[in-house]
Amino acid sequence: MSGDDLLPPRVLVVEDDPDHRRALALTLHLGGYTTSECGSGEDALEQLGTNIAKPMDIDAVVLDIRLPGIDGVEVLTQMRAQMATRHVPVVLISAHTSKPNAVQRDEYARFVPKPFHPDQLLGQLSELLPDPPRNDR
C-alpha cells in the first residue's frame, strides 16, 4: 500500500471473545485502520487465503493466541509458510504472559500481553507497517 493511496490499512482481527474482538476493532478504527473480524484460526486462514488472489487486501493481523481449533501460533506458522503472507505483519495477543518462540525469530511479528492499553497495540502495529496511518481518525 502506498502513502498516496487514500485507503487506510486493513487489519484482520482474530479473537474468539466477541466483546474483546469488538474492543479491538474499535481501537483500530480510532487509530485510523479499517478492520475485518473473525473468531477462529480456521476462519482467519480462510480470509488470508483470499489474500493470495488479492495480496494487498489485508495489511496486518491482530491475532489472539488462545483460539478454538487452530490456535494463533499455528495460524502464524501457516502464514509464514505461504509466500503471499510470509511478510504480513502480525501482532499476537494473549492472556498468557510468556512470549511465544514463534515471535522471537519473526521480524514481522510482535507480542502484546493482555490486558493492554489501546496505545500499546497501535504502537506495535505502526512500527510493523511501512506506512501506518498518519493521523488518528
Partner 1 sequence: MATKEATVSDTERRGAALPPRAENPTDDALAALADAPAGAGAVVHRDGDILAVNPAFADLFGLDDPATATGMRVLDFVAPEARARVAAYITTPTDEPVFHDCLRLDGIPLIVRGEGRSVVFAGEPARLTLLTPVIDEFRTADRLHESSEFFRLAFDHAPIGKALVSPEGRILHLNPALCELMGFEAAQMLGQSYNALSHPDDIDAGTPYALGLLQGSGDSYQIEKRYLHANGHVIWVAISVSLVRMLDGSPRYFIAQVEDITARRDAETALRLETERFRLMQTVAEAANTAEDPDEAYTTVLAAVCAHTGWPLAHVYRRIAGEDLLEPSGLWHFEDGDEEEFLDFVVATADNMLVSGVGLPGLAFAARRPTWLIAGTLSTVRAEAARHAGLRGATALPVFAHGEVVAVLEFFSHDADRPDDALLELLGHVGTQIGRVAERAQAREQAAALDEARARFVAHAAHELRTPLATLRTVAGLLGSRRAQMTEAELAECCDLLERQGANLDALVDDLLDLSRLQQAERPEALRAVAVDEWVTRALEVALPPAGVSVHRVLDAGLCVLGDPDRLNRALVNLLANAYRHGGPSVTVRAERDGLDAIVVVVEDDGDGVPEDLLADLFEPFTRSDRSRGSGLGLAITRALVEQAGGSVTYRGSSDQGARFVMRFEEFG
d(CA 41, CA 63): 9
Q: Shortest approach of partner 1 to residue 121 CB, angstroms?
A: 8
d(CA 96, CA 113): 7
Nearer to partner 1, 44 or 51 (CB): 44
Nearer to partner 1, 84 or 133 (CB): 133
- Which amino acid would we find at residue 41? G
Catalog residues that contact partner 1 under the rule CB under 8 A: 16-17, 19-20, 22-24, 26-27, 29-30, 67-69, 93, 95-96, 114-119, 121, 136-137
Q: Shortest approach of partner 1 to residue 80 CB, angstroms?
A: 24
Q: Shortest approach of partner 1 to residue 29 CB, angstroms?
A: 8
Q: Shortest approach of partner 1 to residue 17 CB, angstroms?
A: 6
d(CA 113, CA 122): 13
d(CA 25, CA 13): 7
Residue 53's Cβ-count burial label (10 Å; 0-12, 13-18, 19+) is: exposed
Nearer to partner 1, 71 or 106 (CB): 71
Nearer to partner 1, 86 or 96 (CB): 96
d(CA 117, CA 63): 16
